[in-house]
């Protein structure tokens, strides 16, 4: 029997792990998954931030837990995957969102800062996806992986940004997404990416203030920055059966900036 659109987006009985889920875009996506019925584990480095996030999610009626882990470290990343599977029984949906940035001119960019960004923004995605797939998704022949890239992966920078490592890592996320989608499709695992534009988060607040929020918004066809709802729809599409025939794709959620600046 053909399901209704509401039924296709329903995540009741599903489980999800969201890294970088204690605030910002990760917390917004955790809300989206939980509001659709999924049980959610959020992860980040700081236990205090996670406690606040879980309290917020539970106040919204979401079955939420937290696991503290640093996804730039292989041992902690693999431990996170194992702990999430143990607690939830399986992980149906993985959102790779934990990320870092570093501002420096390319000719002066420290190698150690390059490694820090790469280890979290792409190496961590690989390790976590591999561990979750091996021990949950591939054996069950089912899974949804959502990788957070950025519109910074689509073009070069304005001179003021100077985020070489970040941009490079997010470009790598797109290649990683497409390659995994092609390889793991036979396991009924979909792998897709989201490319957010400017959202006012702790990670981007300093850059937005330095560039000017009104100036940034003016470059968008919609004339605004992203808000606390703008990633919910695409997250649910990728995570649910509504998107079961979508894999290896990315979508910019940027108010149209990539259209006029691409």
**Residues taking part in catalysis:** 166
Q: CA nearest 68: which of 48, 40, 89? A: 48
Residue 108, Cβ density class (10 Å: 0-12 exposed, 13-18 middle, ≥19 buried): exposed
What are the residue ranges of helices labelled H in 73-163? 74-88, 111-118, 124-132, 138-140
Cα separation, 216 vs 131, whole angstroms: 38
* CB contact at 8 A, 153 and 167: yes
Non-local (6+) Cβ contacts of 203 within 8 A are: 24, 99, 100, 101
Q: Are 205 and 30 in contact (CB under 8 A)?
A: no
Q: Which residues neighbour 186 within 8 Å (Cβ) at sequence distance 6 or greater?
A: none
Q: Which residues pair with 15 in a beta bridge?
A: 39
Q: Which residues contact 192 (CB under 8 A, 6 or more apart)?
A: 145, 146, 147, 177, 181, 238, 243, 246, 247, 248, 249, 250, 251
């Amino acid at each position: 029997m053909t399901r209704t659109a509401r039924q296709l987006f329903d995540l009741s009985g599903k489980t999800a792990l969201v890294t970088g889920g204690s605030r910002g875009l990760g917390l917004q996506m955790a809300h989206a998954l939980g509001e659709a019925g999924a049980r959610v584990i959020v992860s980040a480095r700081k236990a205090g931030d996670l406690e606040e996030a879980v309290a917020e999610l539970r106040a919204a009626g979401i079955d939420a837990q937290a696991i503290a882990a640093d996804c730039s470290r292989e041992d902690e990343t693999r431990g996170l995957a194992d702990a999430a599977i143990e607690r939830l029984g399986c992980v149906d949906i993985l959102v790779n969102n934990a990320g870092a940035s570093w501002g420096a001119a390319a000719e002066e960019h420290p190698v150690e800062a390059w490694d820090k960004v790469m280890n979290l923004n792409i190496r961590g995605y690989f390790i976590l996806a591999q561990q979750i797939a091996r021990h949950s998704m591939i054996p069950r022949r089912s899974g949804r992986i959502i990788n957070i890239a950025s519109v910074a992966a689509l073009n070069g920078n304005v001179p003021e940004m100077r985020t070489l490592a970040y941009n490079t890592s997010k470009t790598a996320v797109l290649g990683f997404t497409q390659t995994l989608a092609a390889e793991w499709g036979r396991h009924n695992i979909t792998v897709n990416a989201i490319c957010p534009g400017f959202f006012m988060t702790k990670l981007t607040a300093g850059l937005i203030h330095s560039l000017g929020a009104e100036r940034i918004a003016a470059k968008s066809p919609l004339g605004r920055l992203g808000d606390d709802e703008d990633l919910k729809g695409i997250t649910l599409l990728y995570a649910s059966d509504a998107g079961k025939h979508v894999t290896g794709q990315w979508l910019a959620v940027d108010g149209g900036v990539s259209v006029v600046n691409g």
